[in-house]
Copies of this chain bind each other. A is one copy, B any other.
Amino acid sequence: MPLPTIEWEGDITGRIRLIDQTLLPTELKFVYCDDIKSIWHAIKTLMVRGAPAIGIAGAMGVVLGAKNIHTNDTTTFLKELRHVTEYLGSSRPTAVNLFWGLARMERVALENKDKPVKEIKEILLLEATKIQEEDKAICRQIGEHGAGLIKEGDGVLTHCNAGGLATADYGTALAVIFKAKEHGRHFKVFADETRPLLQGARLTVWELMHADIDATLICDSMAAHVMKLGKIQCVIVGADRIAANGDTANKIGTYGVSILAKEHNIPFYVAAPVSTFDLTIKSGEDIPIEERSPEEVTCGFGKRTAPEGVKVFNPAFDVTPAKNIAAIITERGVIHKPSHKNIQSVLGNHGS
């Protein structure tokens, strides 16, 4: 079972324990946050990363903030709590899950404004734990729904890190892999290193090794050759955003892997929570692609590896068309041959 990325230790007087992801894979170090400054710093410096994990960190940060508000006056408490959420929100202003977590905590506090401060603090801790438990349940349901897709003796390819470090628990793509292992199946995983930021090399193989799963690291450019050698029977990746027709945005390189899988008749699966679907987006063409800094490509390893002044194109994501995806694995079930119709029939009317 994967190590927990983030945990609350103790009662309302307790603290947050988290894995410093910036030191992985060379060092496994737990960081303890006792006040909002330290959790703000942890979020800011990417010690904790991954959309669901950041949401949980924000919610637990609100509990830390509440703990350190020393008043019995509810109005004063709520006013100071607002400063706490505003402060925590400034740690990563573009992280949607962070604001979602902070807003949910503030709403719960307001809903209970007639209760004594001590009780509100306890309700806030319960809510943060609930957010974490909900995420855990989603991860495990995704894992259960997908586990059957990995057969005895299979080789599984994954790209980037859709693992436990980014979530409360099992992750998404890796949840499927962890659950298949729990079901007693034997298989091998090949992990693309995932340039430019090497999440596969730094995080995915680390998580797999910790879960005692047979993991082999390859460069992204080796996936086609490994498939040709017959070593891969399925591909499982996560997702950043899924359009109403099933087109899926994920880490750059995913689209290429989907083409290679098609060429070698290998099924290509996406594992993602229902919250990843954006049904207001008709197709992948409407998903904006963020471009990131050239330095990630030219000096991503503490050493310059390309000429000064070279032009660089560094898109962070690409879009895999639904036709290349055999199935999308969600906590509500598996959507085979994703299409507008097949997605609706599993998701119902959900839109995020």
**Chain A residues engaging chain B, CB cutoff 8 angstroms:** 24-26, 190, 192-196, 198, 201-202, 205-206, 209, 214-226, 228, 252-253, 255-256, 259-260, 262-263, 289, 297-298, 300-315, 318
Contacts and interface: CB of A to CB of B under 8 A. Distances in A.
Given A222-B315, A263-B263, 18 more contacts: A25-B305, A192-B221, A193-B297, A193-B305, A202-B306, A209-B307, A214-B311, A215-B311, A217-B297, A217-B298, A217-B313, A219-B220, A219-B252, A221-B253, A225-B289, A228-B318, A256-B260, A303-B303
Contact of A193 (B218, B289, B306): B306
A298 B259 contact: no
A258 to B, nearest CB: 8
Contact of A218 (B25, B198, B297): B297
Contacts of A25: 304-308, 310
A196 B215 CA distance: 19
A contacts with B: majority SS: mixed
Contacts of A26: 304, 307-308
Copies of this protein, total: 2
A224 B259 contact: yes
A342 B217 CA distance: 39
Smallest CB-CB A-B distances: 3 pairs: A221-B253, A301-B301, A224-B256
A222 B190 contact: no
A225 B284 CA distance: 13
Nearest to A226: B313
B302 A301 contact: yes
17 contacts: A25-B306, A25-B308, A26-B308, A195-B220, A202-B305, A202-B306, A205-B306, A205-B307, A217-B306, A218-B314, A219-B220, A219-B253, A220-B220, A225-B252, A225-B289, A256-B260, A301-B301
